[in-house]
Chain A
Amino acid sequence: MRRRVVVTGAGVISPLADSPAGLHAALCAGRSAIKPIELFATEGIGCRQAGEIRPFEPRDYLGERNLRPIDRTSRLLLIAAQGALAASGWTPELRARCEVGLALGTTFCSVRTIAEFDRRGLQLGPAHASPLDFANSVINAAAGQTAIWHNLRGVNSTISAGEASGIQAMAYAADLIRGGRAEALLAGGVEELCFESFLGYYRAGRLCGSPAGGEEFAIPFDARRNGFALAEGAALLMLEDEEAAAARGVAVAAEVLGYSSVFAASLEEAEAIAAVARAVRLALEDAGVGPEEIDALSASASGSVAVDRWEALGVAAAFGSRAAELPVTAVKSMLGEAMGASGALQAVALLGTLDDGALPGIRGLESFEEDFPLSGAVAETRHVSVRRALLTAVGADGHCCALVLGEPAMAGGPA
């Protein structure tokens, strides 16, 4: 019998809230984090909105320890890790005795830190480049800083798979536990909002409003959608071997039942749709459940013209007749697209739904394309009895991951 993987706590910092309960409440209340950016100037850019954490006072969370060597990405991650460690009862004393790992999804870590390090060297000469910035210029910097800050001596892996990074990291961590390689890992993702990536996504035509420079409609699945709102945040779940968690006597918030990772080798629509469908089927198979046993979907949809369509049609293909009645949420309607953090934010939000049955609506959703198959995608928050839910993460570059979370009551039963 394979080892079972449970969630024993979570931590989050996002533009909407800085706790899992707060995030769930904000999403269910239909609050949006998408606002005009203040973090940097957006002159000359045809998109002005993003999910920015503001105000952001890291000392409110991290106290008086020296934050100077820690950049924005790492600060976000330190805060999410602190929350997840506290929620799961991993005290400093316990971490000194036992190894805790970290599996982190991210796209850039901090492209701002990397670019500023480079520009300083160019402007002032290499002798004036900042050693502190150089240490943070590696893409695994946030994971390393978090390991140092919180004394996490176990596996420390940073994983990039586009918008699917967060779920990929959770799947990776769960596989390490299933394989007996680790007993406890924080898993999730981080991304900071910065000028470099914002301009990049704008020029790539991926931001809302940027294809035509028109009004910004970052509304998942809506026929009017014209790109996503870029966002930032960090979210981590503590994943543990079920028996080890039971031995510690901690409460279980959810069980990771199954997952998958596939790739669309071409971005032609048919192939991308097939990849999404394959990811969903493989995750259900891995979890040992059928489509009728999935009570809700937390979709990756962000407002992307192409990718939302791939996802809707791919999920529908995998769910068959169940697709039309499957309750669907898409939290990026309120949180924006936080890239490497997105899947983990979806997962943390879903813990609230597993707990109280409230499934957030898709804010602003009004109109569908004619062949849109997911009738359970609605604007209003509703109550659903959720024993098992599916998370999907679909990246514009072809990465597709899916993960099944189950309610904790199922833990302890037969696998």
Chain B
Amino acid sequence: MTGLGLVTPIGAGREAVWEGLLAGRSGFAPVESFDTRAFNVHLGAEVRDFRAEPFVRRLDPGALGRASQLAIAAARMALADAGLALSALVPERAGVVMGTTSGEPREVERFDDRFLAGELDRVGAEFISLYPCHMIAAHVARELGFAGPNAMFPTACAAGNYAIAHAVDVLRAGRADLMLAGGADAFSRITYTGFARLGAIAPERCQPFDRNRKGMIPGEGAAVLVLEPLAAAVARGARIYAELAGYGLSCDAHHMTAAHPEGDGAARAMQRALADAGASPEEVSYISAHGTGTPTNDRLETLAVKRVFGEAASRTPMSSIKSMIGHTMGAASAIEAAVCALAVAEDRIPPTMNLEEPEDDLDYVPNTARNTQVRLAMNNAYAFGGNNASVILRKCEV
């Protein structure tokens, strides 16, 4: 992994986001995207002051959905961060794979507004040219002229990890020389309504792994990673953040919205990722938790980590950046993978903020960033549908 681009509720770009996370900055504010007066919660983690124009150069920014705009911004930043000029790439050997929960939800919301207003005659060609989620990866590729493998993984809140995992396999199979992989989601009325209805949104703050946690805070954002074969990265003298050492996927096959009561699928995904990376639990220096802040997720996640890590569990730092940037849905695990890479590259671990009374005895890195050697980081993500995905990043020793 040689480059990363980030657009998050606490800022855009590697430095702003990384410094913000290490300093424990919060990205929560009253929702502005839509009127929340009918809700009993009002906080969100929106990306403010985002302008697509500096990033969307070839396409018309006004003719793109918001998630596509965020994704293109992250992709442009990632390529620049990797020191790659488009002119140096073979378009047919460069691909894009992205994850998302909702695609471009605002387009279907606009459709619904028109439906209820009796104005369906105003639905135009843009609904189909913007809404289907595959348009996010398609728009990134069109903007950059990438003609290699192109796919979208709408695997909900674990989608970024699914996309990264697939990109790794595409590269390993020799089907591309360079892959952009990540996730993007736009703040959505539909998502907010759903989580509010489930009672899963926290009223004031997000407190993963705290005994008194009250839920998650929905957010939006995008992250894109630049992945290329190690030999190519070395040959061009690229700065290498980390090696994508392995991944593991599994399905709970248990419940659509609740995790398996014994953390079964989550544990299998972690075990598979460790096996793929050829690593033991003792070698893991940092776990980036899914850590949404909902009562159920965090309890079962702790349980699953204990199952897999055994005695090593309490010695392994595990934090949730969702305590700061909220739950950015399909972008979340991509942002967290970028954070794992930064942790590996810089030997620093971002904290779990707002943690006052830890629910369990794991090392949740409470409230203060930590300087410690990070050789191997595990990025965990869980989703509706029982979709689990763990990705492992390792310090690259060339």
List chain B residues, Cβ under 8 A from A275: 147
Instruction: Report whether A141 and B384 are in contact in the complex, using a CB–CB cutoff of 8 Å.
Output: yes
CB-based contact A131/B198 at 8 Å:
yes
Tell me the bound Cα distance from A162 to B131 in angstroms. 12
Tally A residues with Cβ within 8 Å of B: 80
The answer to whether residues A118 and B154 also contact, given A172-B166, A266-B142 and a CB cut-off of 8 A, is: no
**Cα–Cα distance between A178 and B105 once the two chains are bound (Å):** 35
Q: A199 with B134: in contact, given A179-B173, A263-B147 (CB under 8 Å)?
A: no
Interface size on B, residues (CB 8 A): 77
In the complex, which residue of chain B has the Cβ closest to the Cβ of A45?
B120
**Closest residue on chain A to residue B188 by CB atoms:** A118
Taking a contact as CB atoms closer than 8 A, the residue among B96, B115, B133, B387 that contacts A115 in the complex is B115
Contact between chains at B253 and A153 (CB < 8 Å): yes
Which residues in B have their C-beta under 8 angstroms from that of A153? 250-253, 265, 268
Q: Do A147 and B250 form a contact, CB below 8 Å, given A118-B112, A175-B173, A203-B124?
A: no
Among the listed stretches B189-197, B212-220, B235-243, B340-348, which one makes contact with chain A, having 4 or more residues with CB under 8 Å of it?
B189-197
Q: Which of A122-130, A305-313, A359-367, A404-412 contacts B (4 or more CB under 8 A)?
A: A122-130
Q: Which of B260-274 contact A (CB under 8 A)?
A: 265, 268
Task: Tell me, yes or no, whether B116 is within 8 Å of chain A by CB.
Answer: yes
In the complex, the answer to whether B152 meets A265 with C-beta atoms within 8 Å is no
Closest to B173 in A: A175
Q: Is the CB of B196 within 8 A of A126?
A: yes
Task: A119 to B120: give the CA distance in the assembly, Å.
Answer: 14
Structural contact, B150 and A115, CB atoms closer than 8 A: no
Q: What is the CA–CA distance of A140 and B101 in the complex, to the nearest angstrom? A: 8
Contact indicator B112/A147 (Cβ below 8 Å) = no
Contact of B95 among A178, A179, A263 (CB under 8 A): A263
CB-defined contacts of B121 to chain A, threshold 8 Å? 44
State whether the Cβ of B85 lies closer than 8 Å to any Cβ in chain A.
no
Select B253's contact among A111, A137, A147, beta carbons within 8 Å: A147
State how many angstroms separate the Cβ of B160 from the closest Cβ of chain A.
13
B249 touches A157 (CB 8 A): yes
Decide: A158 and B153 in contact? CB cutoff 8 A: yes
B57 at the interface (CB under 8 A from A): no
Q: In the complex the two chains form, what is the Cα distance from A265 to B145 in whole Å?
A: 5
Alpha-carbon distance between A407 and B364 when the two chains are bound, in angstroms = 55
Q: Of the candidates B142, B145, B190, which one forms a contact with A114 in the assembled complex, judged by CB atoms under 8 Å apart?
A: B190
**Counting CB contacts under 8 A, is A8 at the interface?**
no
Q: Which residues from B are CB-within-8-Å of A397?
A: 132, 134-135, 138
Q: Is the CB of A161 within 8 A of B112?
A: no
A155 within 8 A of B: yes
Q: Is A270 an interface residue (CB 8 A)?
A: no
What does the 1/0 interface line of B108-151 toward A look like (CB < 8 Å)? 11011101100011011101110111110010011011111111
> What per-residue 1/0 map shows which CB atoms of A255-274 lie under 8 Å from chain B?
00000111111100001000
A200 within 8 Å of B by Cβ? yes
- How long is the Cα–Cα vector from A157 to B166 in the complex, in angstroms? 10
Q: With the chains together, A125 CA to B172 CA distance in Å?
A: 49
Q: 0/1 per residue, B290-304, Cβ < 8 Å to A?
A: 000000000000000
- Answer yes or no: A56 CB below 8 A from chain B CBs: no
Q: State which residues 240-289 of A face B: CB under 8 Å.
A: 260-266, 271, 275, 278
Mask, B364-398, CB within 8 Å of A = 1, is 00000000000000000001111100000000000
Of B96, B152, B172, B255, the most chain A CB neighbours within 10 A belong to B152
Q: Residue A200 contacts which of B109, B128, B250 (CB distance < 8 angstroms)?
A: B128
CB distance from B58 to the nearest CB of A (A): 9
A263 touches B149 (CB 8 A): yes
The CB with the most chain A CB atoms within 10 A, among B132, B142, B175, B197, is that of B132
A134 at interface by CB-CB < 8 Å: yes
Give complex CA distance A143, B155 in Å.
Answer: 9
> A153-B250, A263-B138, A265-B145 are known contacts. Are A123 and B150 too (CB-CB below 8 A)?
no
**How many Å lie between the Cα of A153 and that of B197 in the bound state?**
28
Residue A159 is within 8 A (CB to CB) of chain B in the complex: yes
B332, chain A: closest CB distance, angstroms? 14
Complex Cα gap A206–B385 (Å): 32
A152 within 8 A of B: yes
Min Cβ gap A402→B in Å is 12
**Do A157 and B155 touch (CB < 8 A)?**
yes
Q: Is A353 an interface residue (CB 8 A)?
A: no
Q: A111-B108, A115-B112, A158-B155 are in contact. Are A140 and B150 (CB under 8 A)?
A: no
Q: A148-B254, A261-B149 are in contact. Are A156 and B387 (CB under 8 A)?
A: yes
A242 to chain B, nearest CB (A): 18
| Cα separation A194 to B301 with both chains bound (whole Å) | 38
For the complex, is A302 an interface residue (Cβ under 8 Å from B)?
no
The CB with the most chain B CB atoms within 10 A, among A126, A150, A161, A263, is that of: A263
**In this assembly, does A109 line the interface, its C-beta being within 8 Å of a C-beta of chain B?**
yes
Q: How many angstroms from the CA of A101 to the CA of B250 in the assembled complex?
A: 8
Supposing A134-B198, A399-B138 touch, asked if A156 and B386 sit within 8 A by C-beta, the answer is yes
**Is there contact, CB below 8 Å, between B128 and A141?**
no
Bound state CA distance, A171 and B172, in angstroms? 15
Closest Cβ neighbor of B247 among chain A residues: A181
A118 near B190 with CB under 8 A, answer yes
Are A203's CB and B128's CB within 8 A?
yes
- A168 to B97 alpha-carbon distance, docked (Å): 12
Known contacts A126-B38, A153-B253, A168-B151; decide if A119 and B384 are in contact (CB<8 Å).
Answer: no
Residue contact B169 to A179, C-beta cutoff 8 Å? yes
A129-B197, A137-B190, A175-B169 known; A122+B112 contact, CB < 8 A = yes
Q: How far is the CA of A264 from the CA of B109 in the complex (A)?
A: 29
A260 to chain B: closest CB distance in Å? Answer: 8
Most buried by B among A127, A140, A204: A140
Q: Are A154 and B250 in contact (CB under 8 A)?
A: yes
Interface string of B86-97 (1 = CB under 8 A from A): 000001100110
Q: Which residues of B contact A165 (CB under 8 A)?
A: 134
Question: Per-residue 0/1 for B161-202: is the Cβ within 8 Å of any A Cβ (1 yes, 0 no)?
Answer: 010001001001101000000000000011001101110000
CB-CB nearest 3 A-B residue pairs: A144-B385, A139-B154, A134-B194
Binding site for B on A (CB under 8 A): 44, 69, 99, 101-102, 107-109, 111, 114-115, 117-119, 121-123, 125-127, 129-131, 134-141, 143-145, 147-148, 150-162, 165, 168, 172, 175-176, 178-179, 181, 196-197, 199-201, 203-206, 260-266, 271, 275, 278, 395, 397-399
- Given A127-B197, A134-B193, A278-B92, 14 other A-B residues pairs in contact with their CB atoms under 8 A: A126-B38, A130-B197, A134-B194, A139-B102, A153-B250, A156-B249, A157-B166, A157-B249, A161-B151, A172-B166, A179-B172, A200-B111, A261-B175, A397-B132
16 residue pairs of the A-B complex, CB under 8 angstroms, read A117-B193, A117-B194, A135-B257, A138-B156, A138-B385, A139-B133, A140-B154, A144-B251, A148-B255, A156-B249, A157-B166, A162-B132, A172-B151, A201-B128, A205-B125, A399-B138
